[in-house]
Amino acid sequence: MNFILIAVIVLGAIALVSAVVLYITSKRFAVYEDPRLETITEALPGANCGGCGFPGCGGMADALVKGADAGSIEGLFCPVGGQKVMENVADLLGMTVEKTDPMVAVVRCNGTCENRPRIAEYNGLRTCAAIHATGAGETACGFGCLGCGDCVSACQFEAIHMNPETGLPEVDDEKCTACGACVKACPRSIIELRKKGPKNRRIYVQCVNKDKGPAAMKACKVSCIACGKCFKACKFDAITIENNLSYIDYNKCKMCRKCVNECPTHAITALNFPVKKIVKVEEKTAIDEQPVAENKQEEVKQ
């Protein structure tokens, strides 16, 4: 019995000492967590998409709290929650946030089956990343969409889908949160985040082919050939030409659509604009004008 009692006392003493050591250690090395972190994390949408540039909403909340302590949360934006969520977060932190224009994903390729015919057949893993790693893919264009839908798989909001007729991805403006997941998933960088624009109207070059004109047109009949006509037509310095490719700066574009009319290959796309009405002007014939002349002569005689 003495051995059992001694064992119990020893074990109890060890447990007591261990508990004291753990308590002191927990107090000494405790990590303080700002109570605002939980509040801000709950205010965020919880998508954990990484579109804000941080590893999930927790990382974004931490950056917002630190920014508030530093006196500014400028540059921090949740694309999923948008302006409404950011204004709510700013109120919780006692800060102000600038109004930002909503963004949307844009597919900068018009290489449909009709515009960009297939010249080869790929037999392997059907992902854009795999095909891109092997070379040009099934068409002669080494820059355009590969059509396997890596962007569709990356989107957790079901805002992008493949059109079976064109073989290209299409973005649903209403569902797109501009998280940028599709942009990161595309191995050829044909998807870009651009401003939605007033009334969802946008003008952009729907081509990323950097080959010279003849080679680009051989691969796709709606390629940009860097002819410079759009550049000359733009009066707002919104268009630049680099690496045989035109690009429209959405911050400078005034939506005049002159570049759209000037593009000989129809590589520039204007979305959601009303159709221009064609006004027919009726020309007066000699027969219509003759009675008027006769009436004038009669008035002079009188």
In terms of phi and psi (left: phi > 0; alpha: psi -120 to 50; beta: otherwise), the region of 54 is beta
Residue indicated by tokens 């429209």: 248
Question: What's the average model confidence in pLDDT over 207-215?
Answer: 95
Q: Is 256 annotated as a binding residue?
A: no
Side-chain-side CA neighbours of 45 within 13 Å: the count stands at 19
Q: Is 230 annotated as a binding residue?
A: no
What is the residue-wise DSSP string for 35-67?
Answer: HHHHHHHHHS------TTSSSHHHHHHHHHHHH
Closest CA to 67 of 43, 96, 100: 96
Question: To which residue do tokens 């759009």 refer?
Answer: 230
Q: Is 179 annotated as a binding residue?
A: yes
The string of pLDDT tens digits covering residues 176-194 is 999 999 999 999 999 999 9
Is 227 within any annotated ligand binding site? no
Whole-number Å distance between alpha carbons of 208 and 108: 7
% of the chain at pLDDT higher than 90: 65
What's the gap between Cα 86 and its chain centre? 19
CATH number of 103-271: 3.30.70.20
**What was the pLDDT predicted at 57?**
93
- Collapsed DSSP state (helix, strand, coil) of residue 22: helix
Is residue 109 marked as binding?
no
**98: Cβ–Cβ under 8 A, 6 or more apart, which residues?**
74
Angle at 177 between CA 143 and CA 266, to 5 degrees: 40
What was the pLDDT predicted at 260? 96
d(CA 131, CA 134): 5
> What is the C-alpha separation between 294 and 171, in angstroms, rounded?
65
103-107, 113-117, 190-194, 244-248: least confident range: 113-117
Quick: pLDDT tens for 218-231: 999 999 999 999 99
Is 78 marked as binding a ligand? yes
DSSP-assigned letter for residue 274 = P
Split at pLDDT 50, 70, 90, the class of 23 is: confident
Q: Is 207 annotated as a binding residue?
A: no
Tell me whether the CATH fold assigned to 35-93 matches the one assigned to 103-271: no
Instruction: Give the pLDDT confidence score for residue 302 in this predicted structure.
Output: 43
Give residue limits of the domains in the chain.
35-93, 103-271
Domain 35-93 CATH class label? mainly alpha
Position 121 pLDDT exceeds 90: no
pLDDT class for 1, splitting at 50, 70, 90? low
Residue type, 279: V
Which one, of 274, 144, 128, 126, lies nearest residue 220 by Cα? 144
Indicate the burial class of 157 (C-beta count within 10 angstroms; 0-12, 13-18, 19 or more): middle
Lowest mean pLDDT among 118-127, 178-187, 200-209, 222-231: 118-127
- pLDDT over 80 at 299, yes or no: no
Q: Phi and psi dihedrals of 204, rounded to 5? A: -155, 160
Q: Binding residue per annotation — 259?
A: no
pLDDT tens track for 246-288? 999 999 999 999 999 999 999 999 999 987 665 555 555 444 4
Give, in degrees to the nearest 5, the angle at Cα 226 between 224 and 230.
90
Structure token digits, residue 199: 């009334």
Three-class SS state of 181:
helix
The response to whether 224 counts as a known ligand-binding position is no
pLDDT of residue 3: 77
What confidence score (pLDDT) does residue 98 get?
84
